[in-house]
Chains A and B, each alone.
Chain A
Amino acid sequence: MSIAITTQIICFTILSLVILIGALGVVLLESIVYSAFLLGGVFMSVAGLYLLLNASFVAAAQVLVYVGAVNVLIIFAIMLVNKKEDLKPINDIKSRRIISTTICLTLLSLLIRVDLTNVWSLSSPQNSIGEESTIRIGEHLFSDYLLPFEVASVLLLMAMIGAIVLARRDVMSKDISTGLPVDQELIEKSSEPLLTNKN
Chain B
Amino acid sequence: MEYGLDLEYSFNEFLKGFGLSSEIAHIIWLPLPMLLVLVAAVVGVLVTVWLERKISAAAQQRIGPEYAGALGVLQPIADGLKLLLKEDIIPAKADGILFTAGPILVLVPVILSWLIVPFGQNLLISNVGIGIFLWIALSSIQPIGLLMSGYASNNKYSLLGGLRAAAQSISYEIPLALSVLAIVLMTNSLSTIDIVNQQSGAGILSWNIWRQPVGFIVFWICALAECERLPFDLPEAEEELVAGYQTEYAGMKFALFYLGSYINLILSALLVSILYLGGWGFPIPVELIAKFLNLPINAPFIQVFTASIGIVMTVLKAYLLVFIAILLRWTTPRVRIDQLLDLGWKFLLPISLANLLITAGLKLAFPQFFGG
* Chain A residues with a Cβ under 8 A of chain B: 2-4, 33, 37, 40, 44, 56-57, 60-61, 63-64, 67-69, 71-72, 75-76, 79-80, 130-132, 134
Please name all residues of chain B whose beta carbon is closer than 8 Å to the beta carbon of A68 when the two chains form the complex. 137, 140-141, 143, 173
Interface of B is mostly: helix
Please name all residues of chain B whose beta carbon is closer than 8 Å to the beta carbon of A60 when the two chains form the complex. 130, 133-134, 136-137
Smallest CB separation, B123 vs chain A (Å) = 20
Please name all residues of chain A whose beta carbon is closer than 8 Å to the beta carbon of B166 when the two chains form the complex. 72, 75-76
State whether the Cβ of B94 lies closer than 8 Å to any Cβ in chain A.
no
State whether the Cβ of B36 lies closer than 8 Å to any Cβ in chain A.
no
State whether the Cβ of B15 lies closer than 8 Å to any Cβ in chain A.
no
Interface centre among B98, B128, B147 (most CB of A within 10 A): B147
Please name all residues of chain B whose beta carbon is closer than 8 Å to the beta carbon of A40 when the two chains form the complex. 144
Q: A3-B23, A37-B98, A80-B163 are in contact. Are A134 and B129 (CB under 8 A)?
A: yes
State whether the Cβ of B319 lies closer than 8 Å to any Cβ in chain A.
no
Tell me which residues from 87 to 113 in chain B have a Cβ below 8 Å from any Cβ of chain A.
Answer: 98
Contact residue among B137, B147, B148, B170 (Cβ-Cβ distance under 8 Å from A63) = B137
Cβ–Cβ contact A64 & B129, under 8 A: no
Please name all residues of chain A whose beta carbon is closer than 8 Å to the beta carbon of B163 when the two chains form the complex. 76, 79-80
Q: A68-B173, A72-B147, A79-B159 are in contact. Are A131 and B141 (CB under 8 A)?
A: no
Complex Cα gap A64–B137 (Å): 4
Cβ–Cβ contact B144 & A57, under 8 A: no
Please name all residues of chain A whose beta carbon is closer than 8 Å to the beta carbon of B134 when the two chains form the complex. 56, 60
Cβ–Cβ contact B137 & A61, under 8 A: yes
Q: A57-B133, A64-B137, A68-B173 are in contact. Are A134 and B190 (CB under 8 A)?
A: yes
Closest 7 CB pairs of A and B: A68-B140, A131-B129, A60-B137, A64-B137, A63-B137, A72-B143, A56-B130
Interface residue tally of chain B, by bracket?
A: 20 to 34
What are 29 of the A-B contact pairs (CB < 8 Å)?
Answer: A3-B23, A3-B27, A33-B98, A37-B148, A56-B128, A56-B129, A56-B130, A57-B129, A60-B133, A61-B137, A63-B137, A63-B138, A63-B140, A64-B133, A67-B140, A67-B144, A68-B140, A68-B141, A72-B170, A75-B147, A75-B166, A76-B147, A76-B163, A76-B166, A79-B151, A79-B163, A132-B129, A134-B129, A134-B190
Interface of A is mostly: helix
List the A residue with the shortest CB-CB distance to B140.
Answer: A68
List the A residue with the shortest CB-CB distance to B152.
Answer: A33
Tell me which residues from 160 to 188 in chain B have a Cβ below 8 Å from any Cβ of chain A.
Answer: 162-163, 166-167, 170, 173
Complex Cα gap A132–B141 (Å): 25
Please name all residues of chain B whose beta carbon is closer than 8 Å to the beta carbon of A72 when the two chains form the complex. 140, 143-144, 147, 166, 170
Known: A61-B137, A80-B163. 6 other contacts (CB 8 A): A4-B23, A37-B144, A57-B129, A60-B130, A72-B140, A75-B148
Complex Cα gap A61–B136 (Å): 10
Please name all residues of chain B whose beta carbon is closer than 8 Å to the beta carbon of A132 when the two chains form the complex. 129
Cβ–Cβ contact A71 & B144, under 8 A: yes
Complex Cα gap A80–B167 (Å): 12
Contact residue among A4, A67, A79, A130 (Cβ-Cβ distance under 8 Å from B141) = A67
Give per-residue flags for B120-160: 1 if the beta carbon is below 8 A from chain A beta carbons, else 0. 00000000111001101110110110011011000000010
Please name all residues of chain B whose beta carbon is closer than 8 Å to the beta carbon of A2 when the two chains form the complex. 23
Complex Cα gap A36–B155 (Å): 20
Cβ–Cβ contact A64 & B140, under 8 A: yes
Please name all residues of chain B whose beta carbon is closer than 8 Å to the beta carbon of A3 when the two chains form the complex. 23, 27
List the B residue with the shortest CB-CB distance to A7.
Answer: B27
Smallest CB separation, B168 vs chain A (Å) = 12
Smallest CB separation, A148 vs chain B (Å) = 22
Interface centre among A68, A76, A79 (most CB of B within 10 A): A68
Complex Cα gap A120–B141 (Å): 32
List the B residue with the shortest CB-CB distance to A132.
Answer: B129
Smallest CB separation, A192 vs chain B (Å) = 15
Cβ–Cβ contact B140 & A69, under 8 A: yes
Complex Cα gap A63–B173 (Å): 14
Complex Cα gap A57–B137 (Å): 10
Smallest CB separation, A38 vs chain B (Å) = 11
Cβ–Cβ contact A64 & B27, under 8 A: no
Smallest CB separation, B339 vs chain A (Å) = 13
Smallest CB separation, A26 vs chain B (Å) = 15
Please name all residues of chain B whose beta carbon is closer than 8 Å to the beta carbon of A4 when the two chains form the complex. 23
Please name all residues of chain A whose beta carbon is closer than 8 Å to the beta carbon of B98 when the two chains form the complex. 33, 37
Complex Cα gap A57–B130 (Å): 6
Complex Cα gap A67–B98 (Å): 17
Please name all residues of chain B whose beta carbon is closer than 8 Å to the beta carbon of A80 when the two chains form the complex. 163
Complex Cα gap A3–B134 (Å): 26
Smallest CB separation, B12 vs chain A (Å) = 15
Complex Cα gap A127–B138 (Å): 29
List the B residue with the shortest CB-CB distance to A63.
Answer: B137
